[in-house]
C-alpha cells in the first residue's frame, strides 16, 4: 500500500474561507454545521464565495469510523428539534435555489435520523416552495421504513453515496455494506416515482479500472440518475492513504463510460464532490428528462 504520493497540480485550489463572509455569518446565526467544513472539502472557498454550502444535520459527531472521512467519530450529540426550521431559514436568507442537506451517520437513533431529514425537507418547502431539495442520506442500516419516511417528504433528489468499489469496503467503510447501499438506491426508484436518485464514489483508493466499470454497471442497473466521481484526498496522516492521483483524462474516460452505459447524468473530475455544482447538474438532468 502506498503511504504518500505528492499532490499533482490539478488538485491545487484557492484558499478556503472562514466563517466571516455572508455564508459563515448565516451559519453562525442559525447554529448550523456544514459538511464543507467538517469534511475539509477542497471546494469550500469556491462554494462559500458563491453563497452556497451543504448543511450537515444531527450534530458534528458520527457514530461510524470510516477510514477516509474527517468527520469526528465520537458519542452522538442530542438532536436539536429546531434544526429543520433553522436550516430552512438559513436557506431562505442565503438565497439558495437548490438545497443540499446531509447528516452524520446516527446509528444510535431508531430511525437513523430519517424523520429529522423529512422535517427539514418539509420546513424548506414551507418557507421556500420554489427551492429544490437534495438529501444525501446515510444507509439507515438498510432500514427501508426509514427510507420511506424521507421519500414521503418528497425531496427532489435522494442521494446515497456508495463511496468506493465493493472490494474496498472492508478497509474504507468497515461498518457499511455495499449491497445494502445499492438496495437503498434500487428502492428509491421502486417506492417513489418522480424522485431522482443519485450516488457517488471516490477514486484513488486503490480501485482498478475494471472495478470502476463494474460499479458503474451496478449503479446503472439500480436506475441511478446521477453519478458523481471525485478524487479521494487524505484528511490526515491517520486516515487511509491515497493510492493514486487519478489523471483528469481518466475521470473523463469514466464519465464517457457511464454515459455510454445509459446513466443520464455523470459528473466526474478530481475536485468533484457529490454536492459540487449540484444545482447545475440537476438543471442539466431535468433538461434531458
Ligand atoms: S463541494 Fe459540496 S461539500 Fe464541498 S464545499 Fe461545495 S457544497 Fe460544500
Residue 216 is placed in which grid cell? 458503474
Lowest-confidence pick of 19-23, 109-113, 136-140, 275-279: 19-23
- pTM for the full model? 0.95
Kindly report the number of other CB atoms within 10 A of residue 8's CB atom. 13
| Residue 43 in contact with ligand 1 by CB distance below 6 A | yes
- CB of 90 shorter than 6 A to ligand 1: no
Q: Whose CA is nearest to atom 5 of ligand 1?
A: 44
Span 30-44, average pLDDT? 94
Q: Which of 43, 228, 282 to mutate to test the pocket of ligand 1 (most atoms within 8 A of CB)?
A: 43
Q: What pLDDT, on the 0 to 100 scale, is given for residue 7?
A: 87
User: Residue of the nearest CA to atom 7 in ligand 1?
Assistant: 53
Burial 207-222 (b: 16+ CB within 10 A, else e): beeeebeebbebbbeb
The predicted structure's pLDDT at residue 1: 72
Identify the pLDDT of residue 21. Answer: 87
Instruction: Kindly state if the Cβ of 35 falls inside 6 Å of ligand 1.
Output: yes
Q: How far is the CA of 190 from the centre of ligand 1 (A)?
A: 29
Which helix H or strand E contains 228, and what residues bound it? Answer: strand 226-231
Q: Find out whether 180 and 142 touch, Cβ atoms under 8 Å.
A: yes
Q: What is the SS3 assignment for 86-134?
A: HHHHHHHHHCCCEEEEEECCCCCCCCCCHHHHHHHHHHHHHHCCCCEEE
The answer to whether the beta carbons of residues 58 and 103 sit under 8 Å apart is: yes
Residue 116 alpha carbon to ligand 1 centre in Å? 21
Give me the phi and psi of 233, to 5 degrees please.
-120, 130
Q: Is 159 in the pocket of ligand 1 (CB under 6 A)?
A: no
Confidence of residue 4 (pLDDT cuts 50, 70, 90): confident
* Distance between Cα 220 and ligand 1 center (Å): 25
Which of the listed CATH numbers 3.20.20.70, 1.10.10.2840, 3.40.50.300, 3.40.50.2300 matches domain 14-288? 3.20.20.70
Question: Phi/psi zone of residue 24: left (φ > 0), alpha (ψ -120 to 50 degrees), beta?
Answer: alpha
Return the pLDDT at 225: 96
Closest CA to 203 of 170, 159, 249: 249
Distance from the CA of 181 to the center of ligand 1, in angstroms? 22
- Supply the pLDDT for residue 216: 98
**For residues 201 and 272, is the Cβ–Cβ distance under 8 A?**
no
Domain residue spans of the chain: 14-288
Supply the residue whose CA is at minimum distance from atom 2 of ligand 1: 275
Residue 79 pLDDT > 70:
yes
Cα 127 to Cα 146: distance, rounded to the nearest angstrom = 24
Confidence of residue 12 (pLDDT cuts 50, 70, 90): confident
pLDDT at 83: 98
Q: Look at the chain and count its residues.
A: 289
Is the CB–ligand 1 distance for residue 99 below 6 Å? no
Any ligand 1 atom below 6 A from CB of 62: no
Q: Read off the pLDDT of residues 138-152 as tens digits, 9 standing for 90 and up.
A: 999 999 999 999 999
What's the alpha-carbon Rg for the chain, to the nearest Å?
18
Q: Is 273 in the pocket of ligand 1 (CB under 6 A)?
A: yes
**Is the pLDDT reported for residue 289 higher than 90?**
no
Conformational region of residue 210, where left means phi above 0, alpha means psi within -120 to 50, and beta covers everything else: alpha
User: Is the four-CA dihedral 260, 179, 280, 273 of positive or negative sign?
Assistant: negative
Amino acid at each position: 500500500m502506498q503511504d504518500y504520493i505528492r499532490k499533482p497540480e490539478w488538485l491545487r485550489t484557492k484558499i478556503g474561507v472562514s466563517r466571516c463572509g455572508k455564508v459563515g455569518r448565516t451559519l453562525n446565526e442559525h447554529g448550523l454545521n456544514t459538511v464543507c467544513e467538517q469534511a475539509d472539502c477542497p471546494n469550500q472557498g469556491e462554494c462559500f464565495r458563491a453563497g452556497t454550502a451543504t448543511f450537515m444535520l444531527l450534530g458534528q459527531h458520527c457514530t461510524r469510523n470510516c477510514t477516509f472521512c474527517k468527520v469526528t467519530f465520537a458519542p452522538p450529540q442530542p438532536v436539536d428539534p429546531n434544526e429543520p426550521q433553522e436550516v430552512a431559514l438559513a436557506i431562505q436568507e442565503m438565497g439558495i435555489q437548490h438545497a443540499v442537506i446531509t447528516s452524520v451517520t446516527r446509528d444510535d437513533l431508531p430511525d437513523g435520523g430519517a424523520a429529522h431529514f423529512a422535517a427539514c425537507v418539509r420546513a424548506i418547502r414551507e418557507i421556500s416552495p420554489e427551492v429544490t431539495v437534495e438529501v444525501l442520506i446515510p444507509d439507515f442500516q438498510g432500514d427501508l421504513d426509514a427510507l420511506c419516511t424521507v421519500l414521503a417528504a418528497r425531496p427532489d433528489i435522494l442521494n446515497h453515496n456508495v463511496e468506493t468499489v465493493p472490494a474496498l469496503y472492508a478497509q474504507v467503510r468497515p461498518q457499511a455494506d455495499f449491497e445494502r447501499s445499492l438496495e437503498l438506491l434500487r428502492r428509491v426508484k421502486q417506492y417513489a416515482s418522480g424522485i431522482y436518485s443519485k450516488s457517488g464514489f471516490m477514486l484513488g483508493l486503490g480501485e482498478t479500472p475494471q472495478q470502476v466499470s463494474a460499479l458503474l454497471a451496478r449503479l446503472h442497473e439500480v436506475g441511478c440518475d446521477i453519478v458523481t466521481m471525485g478524487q479521494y484526498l487524505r484528511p490526515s496522516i491517520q486516515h487511509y492513504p491515497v493510492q493514486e492521483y487519478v489523471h483528469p483524462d481518466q475521470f473523463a474516460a469514466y464519465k464517457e463510460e457511464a454515459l455510454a452505459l445509459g446513466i443520464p447524468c455523470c459528473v466526474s473530475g478530481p475536485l468533484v464532490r457529490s454536492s459540487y455544482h449540484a444545482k447545475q447538474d440537476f438543471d442539466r438532468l431535468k433538461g434531458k428528462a
